[in-house]
A and B are shown apart, each in its own frame.
Chain A
């Protein structure tokens, strides 16, 4: 196999189109997707044992730390099937979290099939359902796999029943496997070869390659991940991007193994990368179609719908002079993750920054962490918000994604907020607590289906604003971690909403303003001031913290003045240590944002997220 792989790398061997298979693995988080991907790579000798480490495809530090896949990734495998033929398999790994369904659907568009992985002990979860529906919408062939059958708590029979009842997947199609123990891996590969259709597309037609992902390489410029729909791409072709019109000489063409390995050509149906030589990230965006400059295609591929941002927050550099660095970082990261949006904004409290739109809270956290790690920035995020529609009296409808910009209540006819349809899969013992949680969050119960005698699918409608504030944490803590959830946006509905402003030491801090239901304003204001009292360290003077609706103060707390901050220990002649302890204090202060005369730590701007349930 290794020799065959070498020949392919040299560009001599090209696998015919009818022996290509493009597929994804879809799964709920922790159901074993990454382990299965590792095993497929091992069995096909794509990664040799000595280079094998777990989560091979999750190369981002953040992914390894959190044990999740954030970015889709592609890898090319060669598999010698039982029919004696060698097949070229392109595996496109996808994220499992609800925030990243946009990323999943994009990857699925580059595939003809998907391996559906379900945990033998846990069964169908909310994300399983969501991903299967995405795959079916794209018309993909599904290869169902029940994983972790080696677990003592495995119940493959029950899970097969669930698959049959809920997703209409016949039990005879289901493959039983343990990626960890290497059970069923060959069966899965054979099913991929036998059941998933080969890609279509005329290799002789004008080139059309869909850019489904990209990243920026300091040496090679923009690297586009492409799926060829038609035509043939050679390593040194002159190419054109159909949407941007940019043209360039190709620098390099290749496949993912999973590192980038150059090849001479890719034909219709193949998945690979194209180093286009373009330096400007805007010239080769995800969703654009890559074609030949010499013999261009007549029309571009449909491309992708823009990802819809659901959660908005301001991102600000801790230090004002880093603003240009943040702008560059956002531009570069956006190339790799097109699903967030950003535009400049300014805040009285935080200075110049960007209003960013995210797919969800986890996405927000990840974008912030990637900006901080990959671009060495220190950032402050303001409290997350949804996008409101505001009907002005005798005026137009404006959209507001920054609570501090809400016009005064006298000018507002009506405020509308986004709602979602929420699906929760849970053991039936937790129905009560989850009903209570959803009701507390202004949710409306829509229905309940039993997946099996012990587990139910609950459906609610809920304002999105109620969901983004630690709903997921509450869900997990009320169900001992057993429940899972998924949601999709439905519509906008009018509600009695008010803006709550926060004043610290008498000065309004715009980045802490929030919009909430009038009935909840009082308790939210009280909780928020209490939380801020804990988060804002004592300073040399007393600091009042107030929450107000308009000019009406609804809650007040006080951070008492600091009374002691002195090195009064015996350090003997060790003056260096004293000095370093003082330097550390200074660094701590520099990591805080000065608003008026008060130093406010970064965490305080996200205080709303840490309050828990009243």
Chain B
């Protein structure tokens, strides 16, 4: 029962039959899938009592970061290399895939050593970026085969690949599907041509329809579209139109993100060992101008519109930024919010073993140097960092991540915990509400103002 690896009560379990057909890649490394149920610990992320031990466990999800794009978008702060590094004669993509392969092997070796080879199989793999659709289908197939062999792949595992909708970089969708990809996430951002240009995107609205057709034609059974609201200079009407146009394309899942122009340099994330790359001067200028044209009031209205319209369309807002038709919730992203252990490879990738958060540094040169050393030396794990979580931090994370989901928290347990007074305050202020199932969940107001609660918890 692979869906047992997804203990998201009261989220409807994703039944293998109800969701998209999932190819069985041969769960060689993982035979005892029932183990994963117990490893997932409590399905309900109730705050751990102080003093409770943080239990490490083997991963049930794997993130693969592919740090290449045809061009940089000025608002994006994921680890991305673009231009000649991404395609053409000087492309670094092929050597990168070799390095990635080496890292996958080293991470699998470490897991074997720590947990033995009979550990549970992965419930999800997520190829994110960057633009993973720039990879050749053969490369994707090779990676997935290696992953299945070394990490184990549960029957019906969710295998997502992020793709751009444009003809330049949407890649070989049929080939990806044949390689085992069963979920595609398109970086649509907007379906308004003016907004797309303002964002520096390369595709046009009609490319999105074409890409969706191609994906569906290739047999991709679960399809996500990413959209952005609070776009500089955007309007409520344009947002409504984008949303309707996206719904008209028949997606199974929508991720609606508020365009957020963070400053990774100011956050101290871009040093030599940092997990982010420094913003370019052009991107900094763009963000400065763009921030002045954003508007919290408009963004709140846009969010509320989405809440209403997507509910009418049969989508469930199962997380602050994520909506899905029943059975199409992203199993991979749920692992993040449910604090299940996940592995990560690629520059800037973030992993969690249940007790410690770990990340790879962002710099591609250092990544390559470690994994493809010159002169036949043995590959070693790339530079990065780790942060062991103390019990209090883990408890706070569990509450914050748990409340991001519409399943919320068990009322009694949460209010009795050390963070109870803050949660009681939020109930009193209408940020939280009680459900019939004796749980507490964020209201729509509460979602929009969730940081007011969360900042009290950290």
Q: Give A contacts to B, CB under 8 Å.
A: 538, 540, 562-570, 572-583, 585-586, 589
A566-B451 in contact (CB<8A): yes
Which chain A residue lies CB-closest to B276?
Answer: A577
Q: How far is the CA of A538 from the CA of B349 in the complex (A)?
A: 35
What is the count of residue pairs linking A and B with beta-carbon distances less than 8 angstroms? 106
B78: A residues at CB distance < 8 A: 572
Q: How far is the CA of A585 from the CA of B400 in the complex (A)?
A: 15
Q: How far is the CA of A583 from the CA of B321 in the complex (A)?
A: 21
Q: How far is the CA of A585 from the CA of B457 in the complex (A)?
A: 11
Which chain B residue lies CB-closest to A541?
Answer: B429
* Given A573-B342, A574-B275, A583-B458, CB of A566 within 8 Å of CB of B401: no
B350-A589 in contact (CB<8A): no
A581: B residues at CB distance < 8 A: 262, 267
Q: Give B contacts to A, CB under 8 Å.
A: 63, 78, 128, 226, 255-260, 262, 267, 269, 275, 296-297, 299-300, 303, 320-321, 336, 342, 344, 349-352, 357, 359, 387, 393, 396-397, 400-401, 429, 447-452, 454-458
B397-A568 in contact (CB<8A): no
Which chain A residue lies CB-closest to B456?
Answer: A586
* Given A574-B275, A585-B451, CB of A568 within 8 Å of CB of B260: yes
B458: A residues at CB distance < 8 A: 579, 582-583, 586
Which chain A residue lies CB-closest to B268?
Answer: A580
* Given A540-B429, A579-B397, CB of A573 within 8 Å of CB of B449: no
B397-A575 in contact (CB<8A): yes
B393-A579 in contact (CB<8A): yes
Q: Which 4 pairs, one residue from A and one from B, show the smallest C-beta to C-beta distance?
A: A569-B260, A563-B300, A568-B258, A573-B350
A589: B residues at CB distance < 8 A: 455
Q: How far is the CA of A168 from the CA of B5 in the complex (A)?
A: 95
Q: How far is the CA of A576 from the CA of B349 in the complex (A)?
A: 12
* Given A572-B128, A579-B393, A585-B455, CB of A565 within 8 Å of CB of B450: yes
B350-A572 in contact (CB<8A): yes
A566-B320 in contact (CB<8A): yes
Shortest CB distance A132–B (Å): 48
* Given A564-B300, A566-B450, CB of A572 within 8 Å of CB of B63: yes
A564-B449 in contact (CB<8A): yes
Shortest CB distance A541–B (Å): 9
Q: How far is the CA of A564 from the CA of B303 in the complex (A)?
A: 10
Q: How far is the CA of A562 from the CA of B452 in the complex (A)?
A: 10
A582-B451 in contact (CB<8A): yes
A570-B401 in contact (CB<8A): no
Q: List 7 A-B contacts (CB under 8 A).
A: A562-B296, A572-B63, A573-B350, A576-B357, A576-B359, A582-B451, A589-B455
Which chain A residue lies CB-closest to B259?
Answer: A569
A540-B275 in contact (CB<8A): no
Q: How far is the CA of A220 from the CA of B350 in the complex (A)?
A: 53
B452-A565 in contact (CB<8A): yes
B296-A575 in contact (CB<8A): no
Q: How far is the CA of A573 from the CA of B297 in the complex (A)?
A: 28
Q: A568-B258, A579-B397 are in contact. List 7 more A-B contacts (CB 8 A).
A: A562-B296, A563-B448, A565-B451, A567-B450, A569-B260, A569-B262, A572-B350
Q: How far is the CA of A536 from the CA of B449 in the complex (A)?
A: 18
A569-B451 in contact (CB<8A): no
A568-B449 in contact (CB<8A): no
Q: How far is the CA of A581 from the CA of B321 in the complex (A)?
A: 17
B321: A residues at CB distance < 8 A: 568-570
B258-A575 in contact (CB<8A): no
* Given A572-B63, A575-B352, A579-B397, CB of A565 within 8 Å of CB of B448: yes
A578: B residues at CB distance < 8 A: 400
A565: B residues at CB distance < 8 A: 296, 448-452
Q: How far is the CA of A452 from the CA of B128 in the complex (A)?
A: 74
A575-B401 in contact (CB<8A): yes
Which chain A residue lies CB-closest to B339?
Answer: A575
Shortest CB distance B122–A (Å): 14
* Given A540-B429, A569-B262, A582-B400, CB of A575 within 8 Å of CB of B336: yes
Shortest CB distance A354–B (Å): 31
A538: B residues at CB distance < 8 A: 296
Which chain B residue lies CB-closest to A583?
Answer: B458
A574-B350 in contact (CB<8A): yes
A563-B297 in contact (CB<8A): yes
Shortest CB distance A505–B (Å): 16
Which chain B residue lies CB-closest to A585?
Answer: B455
Q: How far is the CA of A570 from the CA of B344 in the complex (A)?
A: 16
Which chain B residue lies CB-closest to A587?
Answer: B455
Q: How far is the CA of A538 from the CA of B449 in the complex (A)?
A: 12
Which chain B residue lies CB-closest to A569?
Answer: B260
B352-A573 in contact (CB<8A): yes
Q: How far is the CA of A340 from the CA of B261 in the complex (A)?
A: 45
A568: B residues at CB distance < 8 A: 256-258, 260, 303, 320-321
